[in-house]
Amino acid sequence: MSSYLITGIAGFIGSALARELVQRGEQVRGIDNFATGKRENIAEILSHIEFREKDMLDLEAMKQACAGVDYVLHQAAIPSVPKSVLDPIGSNRANVDGTVNLLVAARDAKVKRVIYAASSSAYGDTPTLRKHERMMPDPISPYAVAKLAGEHYMISFYRCYGLETVALRYFNVFGPRQDPSSPYSGVLAKFITLMLKGQQPTIFGDGEQSRDFTYVDNAVEANLLACKAPTALAVGKVFNIATGRRVTLNETFKLLQQLTSYAGAPIYGPARAGDIKHSLADISLAEKHLGYKPKVSFEEGLRRTVEWYRSSGNF
Ligand code: UD2
């Protein structure tokens, strides 16, 4: 049995990781400040985990959280492009300062490895598709810059202090429990819940922008593989974690019409500041070095997600 610290455990990715680890009989500690996480996401596993309501900016609390831990899965973040455009200082504080605090604490506690939730936004709007890890990053939004800075800190802490770190560049992760309620929520959580209510979603721009949407179970699997992958193959490196297929928002809307039985049309609004047009990953590096394979397809993930919102009444 290994022990894991999950930052952002009450978020939808953090709580999915926690459920999987609990199911595997691992020891789980989690922190969250409920900036974006929700208590109900961890309610059913609360008796199986050690939960601490803490902020990443509290270095002493981070040191205590890292004590005695084998692996740190760092998911805590303020994850929104438009929110970061409105509040770059807040984005930097949570996503960069919080990450550096955690790294210092993990280094001092001599944890075995830190896995970091990086973002595909690091690639920016570069026309090359598929995006591969050898490409020069070109972040646009403050959020993308902050997430990329976190990656560089991961690599720096490996190079300077020998702390083992792996950065996973998530491509638009979606799934059950993703918060649909904020104007900054991920597009699929918003669209699914609106359409289940019979309300019209708004597509920003012409809807021809595309994303490599990644079902949350695939991201969970990638984290667990990254913990155990051989040092020489994984550590100090950055990996794309995605499905390896892109769909446009217009195509996605049509699929969701079938799944939610919503018959209306979308509203088309102005394109969003800081948005990027197309995103599609080359996942061969993660396949080769981590043994990663996206087990759940986009359509299957969408079906499971709609089913979860419908059956849990969370819309
Ligand atoms: C970025 C990252 C993603 C993750 C995420 C965290 C890219 C390609 N992806 O996601 O990996 O880090 O940030 O937040 O940079 N949209 C609408 N209507 C809505 C909401 C969104 O049309 O009501 C559009 C939006 O303009 C964009 C697409 O849907 O073109 C996806 O938006 P999103 O906010 O779900 O995610 P995105 O791509 O900014």
Number of domains in the chain: 1
Distance between CA 298 and CA 302 in Å, rounded? 6
> How does 106-144 read in b/e, with b if 16+ C-beta sit within 10 Å?
bbebebbbbbbbbbbbbbbeeeeebbebeeebebbbbbb
pLDDT at 301 over 90: yes
156 Cα to the center of ligand 1, angstroms: 28
Which residue intervals of the chain are DSSP H helices?
Answer: 12-23, 59-66, 81-86, 88-92, 98-109, 142-161, 187-196, 216-228, 231-234, 249-260, 284-290, 298-312
Per-residue model confidence as pLDDT tens digits over 248-296: 999 999 999 999 999 999 999 999 987 899 999 999 999 999 999 999 9
Total number of residues shown for the chain: 315
- Res 230: pLDDT: 98
pLDDT of residue 174: 98
Pocket-testing residue among 87, 119, 251, ligand 1, by greatest number of atoms within 8 A of Cβ = 119
Supply the residues annotated as catalytic: 143
CATH at 147: 3.40.50.720
Distance from C-alpha of 113 to C-alpha of 71, rounded to nearest angstrom? 5
Asked if the structure places residue 103 within a domain, the reply is yes
Q: Whose CA is nearest to atom 12 of ligand 1?
A: 119
Protein residue with its CA nearest to atom 15 in ligand 1 = 121
pLDDT at 273: 85
What is the model's pLDDT at position 274?
A: 78
Q: What pairs with residue 50 in β-bridges? A: 29
> What's the pLDDT score for residue 136?
96
Q: Which residues pair with 161 in a beta bridge?
A: none
Q: Is residue 126 situated within a structural domain?
A: yes
Residue with tokens 């990086």: 118
Model pLDDT for residues 160-190, shown as the tens digit of each residue: 999 999 999 999 999 999 999 988 899 999 9
Tell me the C-alpha distance between 178 and 26, whole Å.
24
Q: What is the mean pLDDT of the chain?
A: 97
Distance of CA 214 to the CA centre of its chain: 10
**Tokens representing 230?**
């051989």
Structure tokens at 92: 């930097």
CA 73–ligand 1 middle distance (angstroms): 23
- List the domain range (segments joined by +) for residue 157: 3-174+215-244+280-295
Q: How many CB atoms lie within 10 A of CB 261?
A: 10
Spatial distance between the Cα atoms of 40 and 17, rounded to a whole number of angstroms: 15
**Does 267 map to a domain?**
no
Q: Is the beta carbon of 13 within 6 A of some atom in ligand 1?
A: no
Q: Is residue 197 part of a domain?
A: no
Say what percent of the chain tops pLDDT 70.
Answer: 100
Which ligand 1 atom sits closest to the C-alpha of 274?
39
Read off the amino acid at residue 68.
Answer: G
For the Cβ of 241 lying below 6 angstroms from any atom of ligand 1, the answer is no
The pLDDT, as a whole number, for residue 183 is: 84
Predicted local confidence at residue 314, as pLDDT = 86
Once rounded to an integer, what is the mean pLDDT over residues 133-162? 97
Provide the Cα torsion 200, 201, 204, 205; round to 10°.
-50
Q: Which residue of 13, 75, 211, 283 sits with most ligand 1 atoms within 8 Å of its CB, as the best mutation to test the pocket?
A: 211
Is residue 280 in contact with ligand 1, taking CB distance under 6 Å?
Answer: no
| pLDDT exceeds cutoff 90 at 18 | yes
- H or E stretch at 136: none
211 C-beta closer than 6 A to ligand 1? yes
For the segment 82-110, the average pLDDT, to the nearest whole number, is: 97
Mutate to test the pocket of ligand 1, among 12, 13, 80, 81 (most ligand atoms within 8 A of CB): 81
CA of 280 to the centre of ligand 1 (A): 13
